[in-house]
Structure 1
Amino acid sequence: MSLWVLFTLAAAALQTIRFMLQKQLTGAGLSTGGATFSRFLFAAPIACGLAVAGLVSTGTGLPVPGAGFWGWVALGGLCQIVATFLTVALFSMRNFAVGVAFTKTETVQVAAFSALILGEAVSPLGWAAIVTGLAGVLMLSKAPEPGAPVFGRATLYGTLAGGLFGLSAIGYRGATLALEPLPFLLRALLALGAATVLQTAAMGAWLSWREPGEIARVLARWRKTVLVGLTGSLGSLGWFAAFSLQNAAHVRALGQVEIVFTLIAAALVFGERLHLREAAGIALVIASVVAIVLGFG
């Protein structure tokens, strides 16, 4: 099995754990922005420490990347922040389920962006796997509440979030490619460190302006928030390493297995039962994963 497949599966599993931890933070007196900020605040020093360790262990001097690298990092980091806020905003809407379903179009959008921006086209087999996985994820999405409109602000937010998540993946892929010919893992570590520092600074400025005092509350709860940062940084390292080795469209398509991990965690941790529709959706996602691994792994 290829390294990018292992990195992607590990990233999806760690991201599931991070979301579970982050969900608990909103009940610990933190706002949505504070809970999101904690993921970057404590991930940044961990990511930077790993990058320094990578440079030292390989005997590589600190590179001086060009403007292209920083442009890709800014694209990836800022798009990820805005997409996350849009996704969180969906939960305050009556028809949030429809919006969340539209965020899952990320895999299709990232494939299109990959071809248009990076010139990395997806093969017919890749498209078939992506569409199969998307169908499975949509089956796993909750149905909208009775009377809730299918089209409206939630649909707009969801589609935009999916597109921004797709652009974020393209930005991170571009950042790792801009650091060639360094070893793939070192490229991933350096790009991750740069992205998390940028995101911490951007979100810190936003919270200082819009939510005075929230940064202090995040710091006061460091015993809980540091776990979010640790799992977030390790999960992101998995994504960045995979992006440095493989087309972003294939990585994100394989990463859809995360929703299967989430359902398994919900069943084991919270005792939730799976329904027939969910089982069918899981089967489609797994079929997509198998096709990607066999076709591109």
Structure 2
Amino acid sequence: MNWIVVTLIAAAAQTGRNAAQRKLTAEIGTMGATAVRFLFGLPFAAVFLLALSATTPIPTPGLRALVSTLVGAASQIAATALMLAAMERRGFGVTTALIKTEPVTLAIFGALWLGDTLGPVHMAAIAIATFGVVLMSGTNWRSGGWGAVGLGIAAGALFGLSAIGFRGAILALPYGLSFLRASTILALSLLMQSAIMLAWFLLRDRATLRGIIRHWRGSLGAGFLGAFASFFWFHGFALTAAANVRTLALVEVVMAQLVSGRIFREGASQRQLLGMALIVAGVALLIAVSASG
């Protein structure tokens, strides 16, 4: 299974997880919804790892893998909280567009940290698709509030940093096939994130922890979808540069518009149609250059 198929599966699963988390935000707050993907995702990640390691030993993480995982885990917690906070402030369109500029950040972080240098055609594909997202958002940037813009920029950068941390951890493992490496780091990261979130709630916000327990049914579904999506994201990171994975994932924006029927029911502006065309063109260019390489 190549990185293109893996990424498309991850993007589809993430759509369901985001919907579940958004619903939980109204019931248990931003921090509660943030924690759910980690606390309730950990048992599923552990099951994934045990199933995959039935015939192959689990690779033992060294110091570099542990540090990289911690960087990715902490960055993802902060990024998720900022994203959900931006949604609450009704800056959804602005924030979504800014978060989706993550591939640009990833290309920079990947080159500096992991040496994932991308050629000029790769960079052009990333830039084209990312600019398409900004256009397709169809958002009046000022109407969202500059606070929401700031949250979106910060969340996008932290999501980029988390992806680089996880890819670095996967590559640092001493042995194992790509899917086993991905599952190992996923379980380790969720363990770290669950410990961080539990410590926070016990020290600062026990009411939210009680709310999470009360809404365990909805939280369980969000946890499963989160673990399932993350497994395929991590598998993609094991196969290619994180910037490639996140750029291909931008097709999720187009698919969401088509599935919702928004374009056909309400019409679309020329700017939105141009944005969609740029996303498709950028992703097609990325796939073409990756296939030829």
The verdict on how the C-alpha distance between 1:219 and 1:3 changes in structure 2, with shifts beyond 3 A counting, is same
Match of 2:193 among 191, 195, 199: 199
Q: Could you tell me whether the CA contact under 8 Å between 2:62 and 2:173 is conserved in 1?
A: no
Aligned residue number for residue 106 of structure 2: 110
* Aligned residue number for residue 261 of structure 2: 267
In the TM superposition, what is the alpha-carbon distance from 1:96 to its structure 2 partner?
6.2
Residue number in structure 2 paired with 1:248: 242
8 A Cα contact 2:60 2:173, kept in partner: no
- Aligned 1:40-79 pairs, distance under 5 A: 40-58=38-56, 60=57, 62-79=58-75
Match of 1:90 among 81, 86, 95: 86
Percent sequence identity over matched residues?
Answer: 37
Distance 1:221 1:155 in 2: 31
**TM-aligned CA distance change 1:35 to 1:92, over 3 Å:** closer
Q: Deviations over 1:10-60 (max 9, x none)?
A: 001110111112222234x211111121111111011011111111133x2
Give the TM-score taking structure 1 as reference length.
Answer: 0.89
1:250–1:292 CA contact under 8 A, matched in 2: yes
**Aligned twin of 2:211:** 217
- How far the C-alpha of 1:245 sits from its partner, in A, is 0.6
Residue in 2 that maps onto 1:21: 20
**Partners of 2:218 and 2:144 in 1: CA distance:** 36
In 2 relative to 1, CA 142–87 (structure 1 residues): closer, same or farther, beyond 3 Å? farther
- Following superposition, the deviation at residue 140 of structure 1 comes to 2.1
8 A Cα contact 2:94 2:141, kept in partner: no
DSSP 3-state at the match of 2:28 = coil
Task: Give the CA deviation at 1:221.
Answer: 1.8
- Displacement of 1:219 in angstroms is 2.0
Q: Do structure 1's residue 122 and structure 2's residue 133 form an aligned pair?
A: no
* Matched residue type, 1:34: G
1:179-207 residue CA offsets vs partner (Å, 9 max, x unmatched): 14311110000010001111111122222
Instruction: Tell me what 1:134 maps to.
Output: 130
Select between 257-266 and 231-240 the one with higher mean Cα deviation.
257-266
- Quickly say closer, same or farther: Cα 1:199–1:290, change in 2 above 3 A: same
Query: How far apart are the structure 2 equivalents of 1:64 and 1:223?
Result: 33
In structure 1, give the amino acid aligned to 2:179.
L
- Unmatched segments (≥5 aa) in structure 2: none
3-state SS of paired residue (2:261): helix
- Aligned residue pairs: how many? 290
1:85-123 deviation line (CA, Å, top 9, x unaligned) = 122222354766445433332111110111111111111
TM-score, length of structure 2 as denominator length: 0.91
Root-mean-square deviation (CA, aligned residues, Å) is 2.3
State the AA in 1 paired with 2:290.
F
CA–CA distance in structure 2, aligned partners of residues 224 and 267 of structure 1: 26
SS in 2 for 1:275: coil
